[in-house]
Structure 1
Amino acid sequence: MGLGNRSNREITLEEVQQHGKLSLKKWLIIDNSVYDVTEWQNRHPGGRRLLAHHTGQDATEAFTAFHLDKQLVTKYLKALCVGHLPAEQQKQSPIVKDMHELRQQAEEMGLFESKLWFYAAHLSHIIVLDILAWLCLWWYGIGWLPYIITTLLLTTAQAQAGWLQHDFGHLSVFQKSRWNHWFHYFVIGGIKAASAHWWNYRHFQHHAKPNMVAKDPDVDMPYLFLLGDKLPKIWGAKQKGFMPYNYQAKYFFFLGPPLVLPVLFHIVNITYVFKRKVWTDIAWTVVYFTRLFWMFTPLLGAWGTFWMYMLVRLLESHWFVWVTQMSHIPMTIDKDQDKDWFTSQLQATCNVRQSAFNDWFTGHLNFQIEHHLFPTMPRHNFWKIAPYVERMCTKHGIEYQQKGLLTAFADVVRSLEHSGQLWYEAYHEMP
């Protein structure tokens, strides 16, 4: 009767839906069993909000996608089981059944097994870039050309470290979760000066409910930008908002990529770690800045090192924002419609065509569709599962979008222009 089912009580889907977000009691479904997560949500490693986003719904596919060691998690589930769905409500839809079979096929093909040499090589090239950056200033002095080269090398190292920490954060490198967590702390904290706990808190919400208003924090920015087709019309009709959203495609170049890492990154990181007293993340951040100033202060001075750090963050921010948003902003943005995993991920993501450069430049996030469907799959295997995903899309009449890198970048701007115009028209529409 499902994972950890200890109760013979039958609970209908309608009853579960009544124990959703607005209910005091929080229930959800995993493998046809119903679980009361009211108390557990405060201890959930992925965060309270991630669990809350699935209450009142069937969370089987999300549970399967996120958890590496399902046997371990099942031990916690047993005590939470309150019943199971009646037999007539346990039927899978064709698309859910096909997604389940596709995952089984990926497992049989060994696509969830990582090549450790790949990640070792990736980490090594980040360390080499850092060393070359220091050697450039040490050997050639602080002239403008060595300074520019050093900055570009550090920016590249930081961007690539961002993709690497993403791998560890998704538990896609090692078979044991704790090894992924330890390396995640090292890379995101010791190499990037960011909080692993903060990243998990935000990023898994994004993966669970991509492009869903009020659930995906990556699209929750209506006071600066209005995204998609629906929210701009709603805000425009109500004459809400204080920004000229019809110009958002233009001011995006000033308030988007330039500010995300240099400003927002520091504010949210500092606020999160001190508010929640995440001393481990604070310690790793201290390690990063100690190393940075130890290496570069003798060459640039303390203030010179600080301003170089900020310049690196500015450049990296452009790299990060364009790559991460090119696969999401142009896609469907709406409230949670409680669709199946495959459909909800496909409507919120698109791919960029494969090439050696695109794979490296984007950290394999050019395979955004496959990454969202299988978040624990090692990225070097995305290209192998992609043809199977595309065939499943064709079978169920779902568009499998892929485009060139520059087209993907341009679509971000075109999408912002389109959404801004929708707001403008609704705002000025005559009653």
Structure 2
Amino acid sequence: MTPEAPSRRGSDFAELSREVKQAGLLDRRIPFYLWRLGGVLAALAATGVALVLIGDSWWQLAVAAVLAVVFTQIAFLGHDAGHRQVFAGKRANETTGLLLGNLLIGVGYGWWMGKHSRHHANPNHEDEDPDVDIAVLAFSAEQAQRKRGFFRFVVRNQAWLFFPLLLLEGFSLHAISTAAAVRRSVRGWRLELVLLAVHVVGYLTAVFLVMSPLKAVAFIAVHQGLFGVYMGCSFAPNHKGMPVLSAGHQLDFLRKQVLTSRNVTGNWFTDVLLGGLNYQIEHHLFPSMPRPNLRRAQVIVRDFCARHAISYAECGLFTSYGHVLRHLHEAGAELRGAAALAPAASK
């Protein structure tokens, strides 16, 4: 897919920004976030109570599934704090992000912030976006050709393996973000490590005190596996299958953000389910916009794009997964062709 050429570079986004600001959509929505924070903390506490009351039973696997949903909802709030959507001050947002990320769900806030900031600056850029530089996946034929060994096999079949691979995403988030703090590559690494350690000790102590070792391991596997699937299924529709940019592209900021992003249509339930990430276009244009304002902003942005002949991508959730899988299948096509030719050549 080739993005459209820009027009009136530099002026369009300024015009759109004025419309959005005049509508008051960049104003803080602190009561909304306090209500959300209270809700997820209550859900986390209720899950902990259920864990203790159910005891050493296989019914704990149901608790693990619920806890995966709670963890992901906490992650969404950590994401919002990282973009300074929650509070006006930098320190309050950072403190919130550290407590939600490191302490409550065990994912390093500093590592995530660095990675996610680079993604926002250059979405879907094959050289500069870390979200399209994943060892076990390829998002272009060129990336696929560079894979070797086991990763080459995975990429060849990545459309089929995509959802199973998401079962490992939760473990990956814990491991990579903790390793970044251990390497001291994030600011405030000491505090991050302390909070991560408190999370791990508290989590493992609770699980292994309440359950037998076998059930505890099964609980962790189900919880972390479903946490990874939920996280991956929430972020994958946003950019995967949209144009992949390379060095030297001529897109201005507005078009770079809009043409590489996809919205997911739906209602209030979709908003809750995806933590506002279903308004990916609006979020990328205005990262600090509070989540509850995104739905109203969509009306302005979609109309603006229509007036300026800018392609605005949106579809249903399951349709978006179809686009993702189709794109992954096409990216690995040459590897499958090479694999099919190899046996014939050896005869």
Q: Give the aligned residue type for 1:112.
A: L
Change in CA separation of 1:301 and 1:273 when aligned onto 2, cut-off 3 Å? farther
- Partner Cα distance (2:142, 2:209) in 1: 55
- Partner Cα distance (1:354, 1:409) in 2: 15
**For each residue in 1:366-386, what CA deviation from the matched residue of structure 2 results, as whole angstroms up to 9, or x when unmatched?**
001100111011011011111
Other-structure match for 1:380:
292
Other-structure match for 1:288:
199
Other-structure match for 2:67:
154
Q: Find out whether 1:173 has 2:86 as its counterpart.
A: yes
Asked if structure 1 preserves the Cα contact closer than 8 Å seen for 2:30 and 2:86, the reply is: yes
Q: Find out whether 1:326 has 2:237 as its counterpart.
A: yes
Change in CA separation of 1:240 and 1:166 when aligned onto 2, cut-off 3 Å? closer
Q: Find out whether 1:258 has 2:167 as its counterpart.
A: yes
Please state how far the C-alpha of 1:208 moved relative to its aligned partner: 0.4
Matches within 5 A, 1:70-149: 94-145=8-59, 147-149=60-62
TM-score (norm 1): 0.71
Please state how far the C-alpha of 1:253 moved relative to its aligned partner: 3.2
Asked if structure 2 preserves the Cα contact closer than 8 Å seen for 1:130 and 1:153, the reply is: no
Greater percentage in helix:
2
Please state how far the C-alpha of 1:307 moved relative to its aligned partner: 5.0
Q: Give the aligned residue type for 1:298.
A: L
Of 308, 320, 345 in structure 1, the residue corresponding to residue 257 of structure 2 is: 345
Q: Give the aligned residue type for 1:270.
A: T
Other-structure match for 1:48:
none
- Partner Cα distance (2:202, 2:144) in 1: 47
**For each residue in 1:58-80, what CA deviation from the matched residue of structure 2 results, as whole angstroms up to 9, or x when unmatched?**
xxxxxxxxxxxxxxxxxxxxxxx
Other-structure match for 1:273:
181
Change in CA separation of 1:297 and 1:325 when aligned onto 2, cut-off 3 Å? same
Q: Give the aligned residue type for 2:170.
A: L
Change in CA separation of 1:212 and 1:309 when aligned onto 2, cut-off 3 Å? same
- Partner Cα distance (1:162, 1:252) in 2: 21
Structure number, greater radius of gyration: 1
Asked if structure 1 preserves the Cα contact closer than 8 Å seen for 2:58 and 2:215, the reply is: no
Change in CA separation of 1:302 and 1:121 when aligned onto 2, cut-off 3 Å? farther
SS in 2 for 1:365: coil
RMSD: 2.5
For structure 2, the residue ranges without an aligned partner over 5 or more in a row are 1-5, 342-347
Other-structure match for 2:345:
none
Please state how far the C-alpha of 1:424 moved relative to its aligned partner: 4.5
Q: Find out whether 1:414 has 2:323 as its counterpart.
A: no
**For each residue in 1:137-158, what CA deviation from the matched residue of structure 2 results, as whole angstroms up to 9, or x when unmatched?**
333333222x123112211110
Question: Structure 1 vs Structure 2: percent identity of aligned residues?
Answer: 25
- Partner Cα distance (2:223, 2:246) in 1: 36
Aligned residues: 329
Please state how far the C-alpha of 1:401 moved relative to its aligned partner: 1.0
For structure 1, the residue ranges without an aligned partner over 5 or more in a row are 1-91
Other-structure match for 1:27:
none
**Structure 1 stretches of at least 4 aligned residues deviating more than 6 Å after TM superposition:** 426-429
Please state how far the C-alpha of 1:130 moved relative to its aligned partner: 1.7
Of 155, 159, 171 in structure 2, the residue corresponding to residue 249 of structure 1 is: 159
Of 102, 110, 115 in structure 2, the residue corresponding to residue 189 of structure 1 is: 102
Please state how far the C-alpha of 1:251 moved relative to its aligned partner: 2.5
